[in-house]
Structure 1
Amino acid sequence: MMRTLDNLQMDGGCLVFNFVNTVNTRKPAPEFDYLETFEDVLTWSAKAESLDGKQLRALSEYAVQEPDAALAVLQDVIEAREMLYGLFSAIAKGTPPDVTVTDAFNQRLSIAFQRIHLTFGPAGAEIHLGGKGVSLDEPLLPVLKSAFDILTRDGFERIKECPRCGWLFLDTSKNGKRKWCDMNVCGSREKSLEYYYRKTKARHNT
């Protein structure tokens, strides 16, 4: 099957991990990147439902008018994605993130939170990200907010990395024993590989 954003699985369990998982694998290294253009970033944002249709149309139109700016933001989006992978991958391994990664995250978080504002209505307060104008960095704002939420609301033991492909996921299973990003994909492949090795070993021992 041809890889497209349409058939990209969203197995991360939260927005930030689904964003980080926009490469096909991290072990040993990504072979395919789903975010090759700024339009891909918008397509992913639509799939993740992190931006509404009005925002997406405005960003798409702006990107067409300012292609160089859109390319620069795409590169920044990829840089942010790799920083977030480094941050959460370290946590999943039970080690403190590198100080340069932590500093980069805090810097981005500080800038993103300057763009957060609240409105109040009968049902309570609503959080809004971004401003009144169009800014090409808008797709990153909900991702960074999601990262903050995961780091401050959920136990670190629930942050995991698939041992086969390196995708990150939030383990929401009742017993907290989930191992794979997707049991039907990485889990079944690993079991098939183990079965093959057992059979091969048994033949060699006979």
Structure 2
Amino acid sequence: MRTLENLQMVGGCLAFDFINTVNTRKPEPEFEYLETFENLIAWSEKAGSLDVVRLQALRKYAEQQPEVASAALRDVTKAREMLYALFSAIAAGDSPGAAVTGEFNRRLSDAFQKIYVKFGPGGTEVLFCNEEVAWNEPMYPVLKSAFDILTGGDFEKIKECPRCGWLFLDSSKNGKRKWCDMNVCGSRKKSLEYYYRKTKSRHNA
């Protein structure tokens, strides 16, 4: 059974783990992990992108304004698909379209207005909001993650699983990682290849 609890986080960064909150993109998503705003909060908790105080504030917000929360979720999933289009193009060696780039820059500008740095004895801490609760708050760290990837310059590490369409950062030593997870998509591909070989050999016998 697919649940947020057993959703794999194999993207290698927050932005890709967020984009991968559908089970497959080939040919189209069969399962949506973010069906409710509570799912979005639960995913943020699983990813460790927001602290407990912010999570509690968001839950209270959603309980008090369910219709606004539902509209917020629709916008968040729209942002997710924009991010997928952006990084899928890069993974394919193409440049993202102007509409996608424009939407990304608009959302990034909004997120960066909410980001600030706090200095303390342990060093600097990047925070994503103030006392006021914002419905799109879970997107701020995701967009910051996407910005970090884009400005990191290692585009050759951005890859898309050929079987399910999940995105991931290839941190392997030889840079030849192909699958989001070798034990999942990789093994399924091998199983299919084995099946086809056996079927073909029986027909040719």
Q: TM > 0.5 between the two? A: yes
Q: Per-residue deviation at 1:64?
A: 0.4
Give 3-state SS (helix, strand or coil) of 1:127's partner: strand
Distance across 2 between alignment mates of 1:126 and 1:7: 30
Give 3-state SS (helix, strand or coil) of 1:174's partner: coil
Give 3-state SS (helix, strand or coil) of 1:126's partner: strand
Q: Per-residue deviation at 1:135?
A: 1.1
1:127 maps to 126
Distance across 2 between alignment mates of 1:135 and 1:106: 19
After TM superposition, list the pairs within 5 Å mapping 1:1-150 onto structure 2.
2-150=1-149
Q: Deviations over 1:109-165 (max 9, x none)?
A: 011111111122233322111122111111000000000011111510100000000
Give the aligned length: 205
Distance across 2 between alignment mates of 1:202 and 1:127: 59
Distance across 2 between alignment mates of 1:82 and 1:148: 16
Distance across 2 between alignment mates of 1:26 and 1:71: 23
Q: Which moved more, 1:3-12 or 1:122-131?
A: 122-131
After TM superposition, list the pairs within 5 Å mapping 1:120-199 onto structure 2.
120-199=119-198
**Matched residue type, 2:170:** D
Q: Which moved more, 1:152-161 or 1:120-129?
A: 120-129
**Matched residue type, 2:31:** F
Q: Return 5+ residue gaps in structure 1 as ranges.
A: none
Distance across 1 between alignment mates of 2:11 and 2:120: 32
**Matched residue type, 2:21:** T
- Compute the TM-score of the two structures, normalised by the length of structure 2: 0.97
Q: Deviations over 1:90-118 (max 9, x none)?
A: 00111111110011001100111111111
Distance across 2 between alignment mates of 1:168 and 1:87: 11
Distance across 2 between alignment mates of 1:153 and 1:89: 17
Give 3-state SS (helix, strand or coil) of 2:193's partner: helix
Distance across 1 between alignment mates of 2:155 and 2:94: 11
Q: Deviations over 1:2-38 (max 9, x none)?
A: 1110011111111000000000100000011000000
Distance across 2 between alignment mates of 1:174 and 1:154: 17
Distance across 2 between alignment mates of 1:7 and 1:121: 36
Q: Deviations over 1:159-185 (max 9, x none)?
A: 000000000011111111000000000
Give 3-state SS (helix, strand or coil) of 1:74's partner: helix
